[in-house]
Structures are given as structure tokens and as C-alpha cells.
Amino acid sequence: MDRAAPGLRGDLIAGLTVWAVLVPEALAYAAIAGVSPVVGLYAAPGALILYAALGSSRHRVTGPMAATAALSAATVGELAKANTDAFTQLTIALALCVGAAAVLAGLLRLGFLAAFISEPVLKGFVVGLALTIIVGQVPKLLGVESGDGDFFEKLVDVLRNLGSTVALTLVVGGGTLVLVLDAVHRRHRRGDARAARRRSRTAPRPPADRARDVGLVRDVLRTADDDPSLRHVYPTVQAAVAAASGRR
């Protein structure tokens, strides 16, 4: 039992960490996908269990993603209205079809096809995806009804409903957003400070400091010549002086 305790403790911490990250992610991404938040909780454990059984990496993160949620909403939104039973059923069917296609692609080793997608295309996809997610979440931040359609139609609906903004919802949502962005900024600043300290430790010493060290060692050598008790350190110190003089 004592031998298993460290491993059990690590597994418990890892499980709590995944739970703390995955639950809010699943709720948020389900909302982006246009389905009930509880659907995200139903879908999240499946990816973890399957990857634990079939995956090959200990560090890969599996679960819902903003990109897949937004693409799913855009695809199903052409066929059904959001937050309806038909929308949910089509979303489930789409997820199963995409999963089957991904398994087939993996078996056929088709991952190399991603190398043919150019960087500008990927950047355009990321930017467009970010804008789509933003325009879909702004109505929740303002407390107004969310419209249907493509990006521009949703944007027009947001601008049209600005007069119906709920002040309390905006204050709570805006304040939370500011706190999150401030926490991210502080984290990046701490990371930059740690990186700067690491660079300062590994940076080469200035020539003036090295010259001062060489002079100090030479003084020690002269003292060793005068004091017989220090003769045994003479070869070591002399080698250090030669090495320091060569780096100068």
C-alpha cells in the first residue's frame, strides 16, 4: 500500500486537474456548438476513455475544442435551428461520422496530407474561426438574443440589438473578461521574467570581470611561490589561469 501511495497520489492530482479544466471547457464548447451544455459533459469522458485505451502519448490533451465546436455549429446550422432536438441529433450524427472518418484516415496513414495545407490558409482559418466564435458569444455578453446565419448576419443582429443590452449582464461579463485577460497578462510577464533570469545566468561574463578574475588568480600564484604550504595547489591554479586567459 505504501509503494502504491505515491502513484495513487499523482493519479488523484492528475484526475482533479483534468476535471477542473475539462468541465468548464465542455460546458463552454457545447454552447459554441449550439447544443445544451450537458451534452458537452456527456461527450467529454468518451474521448478520455478511448485515448487512454488506444492512445500512444502520455501528454496529449483530448476533449472538446473551440474549432470543432464552431465548425459543427456552422455545418449543422444550415440544416436546423440551434437549441432544438433536430439540431442536437444532427450534431451527434455529424460527430459520429467525423469520428469514423478520422479513424479511417488514421488506419490509412493519411496524416501527411496536413503538410500540403499552406500557412496562409491555416492563419486565415484561425482568424475566421476566432471572429466566428466572438460574434457568437457577444450576445451572451450583452444579454441579448443571438441571431442565426453566417458571420455577417450574426454581426448585423448584434448591432441591431445593442439597444436591448442588459447592464447587469454586461458589467458581470465584462468584469470577468477583464480579470481573465489581466491574469493571462500577469502570467506571461512572470514567464518573461523567468526566461530573462535564465538568460542572465547562462550569459557569458563581461571581459572586464574575466580579466579581474585572472588577475586575482595570478596574485594567488605569486603567494603560492612564496609560501611552501601552498605549492600543492600551484598546478591547478596555473591551469585555471591558462584557461581563463584563452577565453578572454
Q: Which domain holds residue 31?
A: 1-113
| Predicted model pTM | 0.58
Indicate the pLDDT class of residue 201, thresholds 50, 70 and 90.
low
Q: Is residue 196 in a domain?
A: no
Residue where one domain finishes, among candidates 85, 113, 141 = 113
Q: Is residue 193 part of a domain?
A: no
Mean pLDDT in residue range 18-43: 83
**pLDDT for the residue 216:** 62
pLDDT in tens, 44-72: 887 778 877 777 777 776 777 778 888 88
| Greatest mean pLDDT range, 59-63, 182-186, 227-231 | 182-186
How high is the pLDDT of residue 106?
Answer: 84
Residue 18 domain flag: yes
**pLDDT confidence bin for 147, thresholds 50/70/90:** confident
Mean pLDDT within 142-161:
81
Q: Is residue 76 a part of any domain in this protein? A: yes
Residue 191 pLDDT more than 60? Answer: yes
132 part of a folded domain? no
Q: Is residue 79 part of a domain?
A: yes
Domain boundary among 60, 92, 113: 113
Number of domains in the chain: 2
Structure confidence at residue 202 (pLDDT): 64
- Mark whether 4 and 107 lie in a shared domain: yes
Q: Among 90, 113, 136, where does a domain finish?
A: 113
**Residue 197 included in any domain:** no
* Burial grade of 101 (CB within 10 A; 0-12, 13-18, 19 or more): exposed
Mean pLDDT of 94-105: 89
Q: What is the mean predicted confidence (pLDDT) over 83-107?
A: 88
Mean of the pLDDT values across residues 148-152? 75
